[in-house]
Amino acid sequence: MTAAAALRPELRDPLARRRLGWAIAAGVALWPLLRLSEFHPATLLAPANLHVMATFVAGFLPPSTEREFLGLLLAATLQTLAMATAGMALAFVVALPLALAATRSLSIAAVGPADGRWRGQGIRQGVRALMVLLRSVPEVVWALMFVRALGLGPAAGVLALAITYGGMLAKVYAEILESADARPARALLAAGSGRVGALCFGLLPLAAQELVSYTVYRWECAVRAAVVMGFVGAGGLGQLLDQSLKMLSGGEVSSIALVFLALVFLADAISLVLRKVLA
Amino acid sequence: MLRLEQVGVVHANGRRALAAVDLAVGRGERVALVGPSGAGKTTLLRVAAASLRPTDGHVALLDAQPWSLGARALKALRARVGVVHQAPPIPPRLRVVTAVLAGRLGQWSLARALRSWVAPADVAGARDALARVGLAERLFERCDQLSGGQLQRVAVARTLYQQPRLLLADEPVSALDAATADTVLRELVDYSVATGATFVASLHAVDLALRWFPRLVGVRDGRVMFDLAAAEVTPERLAALYAGDTEAVPERPVEAAHGATPPLASA
Amino acid sequence: MRANLRRLGGVACVAAVLAAIVASFAYLAVDFRGLFTAEGRHAMARFVAEFFPPDVSAGFLRRAGFAALQTLAVSILGTLIAAAAGGLLALPAAGRLGATAKWGARFVLSFLRSMPELVWAALMVLAAGLGPFAGTLALALHTTGVLGRLFAESLENAAPAPEAALRELGAGPVARFVYGTLPQVAPQCVGYALYRWEMNIRMATILGVVGAGGLGQMLYFHLSLFQQAQAATVLAAMIVLVVASDTLSGRVRRALSAQSH
């Protein structure tokens, strides 16, 4: 019996207090969370909302096949695809010099004695900061601002894609280039070639497959992003969807949704093929 | 207590693992299964544990026919059967205390099980079980901080905590060094003697089998080769059993424990 | 021979891609030249200049702060609901309730995942009215699709031996899962949920643009009225929120990796 009493302090679970603490903290934090986000599941069942949703959802079938609408749908789809492709092309143009500037492998200063060393480092950090900034603001926000500046239409979407995806591509390009074997490039730099030459003949052949693969994957994401940006006025499927939603025409919405799903599927397939062939 | 009648098992890929196995084990008996690797010892134990349904023949354990029971009755039956596996089936991130307490999940209600997962109940019981295998001080550590041998001992502690009426062990001490293996087997045998539980174990080390078990069943190629008291197991029989298998035959007579008489010395 | 065909295929693809790019620009008929004329540049410069200085009056900062908290709350709640719903759907999706349930669950998860969050938000504004609740629902719906699929994959990769052993000692299905599989998949699943939360914060800031409350709605509002100074403050708040939550989630992730059961 005394042995059992002596055992008691060893039987206390060391994690018990911590777990209780977390449980209480979670409980305490839950109430303000629910209030702040105006969490009222009952509104879903409010008769007015329910009626609107019910009629809307009832309109989903059959999907709209009205001739004029189908014409709009085709044009919008092409516009979305064009927006994504053009945006990615520009993003590529933006990303390449940024990635070049940020890659240490191509730093001439690292090869041999050169007085630009700290300045080179400063430029690299500056470029990286710029890339982070470009990436932090969501593309929809850029699209919103460009729509304000340039008016409705795909131009805003193309520019927004160019900027945000340019930043994203630049970061990943820099990472890929840095992780590739730097020796051929360094050898070229030491032999006196310029940065561009070192890139083309030194780094690029090694890194090309990964670069292409990531770019094509990003294009696929760009197609989806283009639809989303259409919601804020950048044209394409997104804008059409926004209009149909506002008019509560369920048939049109379901047609657009089907086309969107098909488009995403198509983009996925194209991306797979391209990655296999271009690699 | 445990009865296999003409039990045969054919796996899904067509391979026959057991053929016409007859085995009857009485209440409180201790039996060791010996034989070369791939002989079917594991399959036999799985049939005995009612976790593998035999293709031919009948199996009865604890006075019940497991495969004609309803789901709830089968679950209750399984709660009284404890299985120690060759490799400890314990998720690494679990703490030792929770792993041991899992032994009684077949006897606890769901509510109690869930509560215990968050805040372990009956820590004292878990500690007792661990003390028997020499790991009491590791109570609140995570299982991935233990060595393979220690984890196996935790698995044994879990089965001891379960307090089964029928104890089945598949190579329970293969991963342990000789001294620890002896300790663990002693604990299992002590448990069997103290509670009257039936104990069937498959062992690769024949010397351990001869030391701790009064009855040996030799299995080879899915059939029972012999079923004898330990005293009657001669080196010739063992040699025939293990023909082609290089590891297990003992070369010198071994000390017996717990009343099992030593085998005849070789000439 | 095959190598040549491959190279030809590669060249053809590159040519096709270039053609597609040119066609895209042509189709859009975007007059970028308008941007680069002196007039265009002045207009852009004026537009950008109006963002500075941002409005930092106490009252507005308080409103922006509240909107930021609201956005944060939406992201947390939405991710929590999605983790629970995704967990529930992951069980049939991993095949634990039979083949038909598996295909059904996977179809539902796929559908939830394919619709962009913004589209869900627009739909939820219809169902629940303007405001952050629509945003929470939208995030929950989309993220359930994402997390459900990730959880299901984790479940399928978990070792079956622990659960099998628990079945042998008579444990019921729920207890088996909690003691046998959950400890194996929990760290990975929590990691997925945290990662999604990081993305959902960015998403939550945007959803307001279609009326789902928080910083997004404020941004849309002020930009529509061409109040760039206020919009600038809101943008800054967005960036601060994203950066702060990234740091926080990094800390939480490190703390949880030391957790145990």
Q: Are residues C33 and C69 in the same domain?
A: no
Domain ranges of chain A: 67-278
**pLDDT tens digits, one per residue of A34-47:** 988 888 888 888 88
Same domain assignment for residues C30 and C123: no
> How many folded domains does chain C comprise?
2
pLDDT confidence band for C160 (50 / 70 / 90): very high
Structure-token pair, residue A103: 């890659």
Contact A7 B124 (CB under 8 A): yes
pLDDT, tens digit, 9 for 90 and up, residues C168-198: 999 999 999 999 999 999 988 998 998 899 8
Q: Are B180 and B201 in contact (CB under 8 A)?
A: no
Checking if the pLDDT of A147 tops 60, the result is yes
The whole domain housing C180 covers 58-257
Q: C16-22 contacts: CB < 8 A, separation 24 or more?
A: C17/A274, C20/A85, C21/A85, C21/A86, C21/A89
If you average pLDDT over every residue of chain C, what do you get?
A: 87
Please tell me which chains touch B, using 3 or more CB pairs under 8 Å as the contact test: A, C
Interface test with A, best of C27, C39, C197 (most A CBs within 10 A): C27
Of the pLDDT bands very low, low, confident and very high (cuts 50, 70, 90), residue B245 is low
Q: CA separation (Å) from A175 to A90, A131, B227?
A: 20, 13, 68
> Could you tell me which of B227, B133, B235 has the C-alpha nearest to residue B185?
B133
Query: Are C99 and C201 within one domain?
Result: yes
**Token pair recorded at residue C198:** 């990081």
Identify whether the C-beta of residue A221 lies closer than 8 Å to the C-beta of residue A234: no
Are the C-beta atoms of B226 and B48 separated by less than 8 Å?
no
Q: What pLDDT, on a 0 to 100 scale, did the predictor assign at position C149?
A: 92
What pLDDT is recorded for position A58?
83
Q: Based on the fold, state whether residues C14 and C133 are members of the same structural domain.
A: no
Contacts of A7 in chain B (CB under 8 A): 124, 127
3-state SS, residue B228: strand
Please check whether residues C218 and C127 belong to one and the same domain. Answer: yes
Q: How confident is the model at residue B152 (pLDDT cuts 50, 70, 90)?
A: very high
Residues C88, C177: one domain? yes
State whether C39 and C73 are in the same domain.
no
CATH architecture of residue range(s) A67-278 = Orthogonal Bundle (1.10)
What stretches of A103-198 show up as alpha helix (H) in DSSP? Answer: 108-111, 117-136, 139-150, 154-179, 183-190, 195-197
Domains, chain B, in order of start with CATH, read 1-80+164-267 (3.40.50.300), 88-159 (no CATH)
For residues A89-120, one letter each, b for 16 or more C-beta atoms within 10 angstroms of the residue's C-beta and e for the rest, the string is bbbbebbbebbbbbbebbbbbebeeeeeeeeb
**One domain for residues C137 and C238:** yes
Average pLDDT over residues A169-197: 77
Average pLDDT, stretch B49-73? Answer: 91
Check residue A210 and give its pLDDT: 80
Instruction: Name the interface residues of B facing C (CB cutoff 8 Å).
Output: 49, 51, 75-83, 85, 87, 89-95, 98, 102-103, 105-108, 110, 113-114, 117, 142, 162, 164
Is the model's pLDDT at A15 over the cut of 80? yes
Helix then strand then coil, in percent of chain C rounded to 5, is 85, 0, 15
CA distances from B78 to B83, B152, C207 (A): 10, 21, 53
Closest partner CB to C209 (pick from A144, A224, A241)? A144
Q: Is pLDDT of C252 > 90? A: no
C66 and C170 fall within a common domain: yes
Residues C196 and C89 in one domain: yes
Closest CA to B257 of B36, B41, B45, B30: B30
| Whether residue B129 has pLDDT greater than 90 | yes
Structure confidence at residue A109 (pLDDT): 47
- C25 and C75 together in one domain: no
C251 vs C248: CA distance, rounded Å: 5
Read off the CATH number of the domain in which C95 is found: 1.10.3720.10
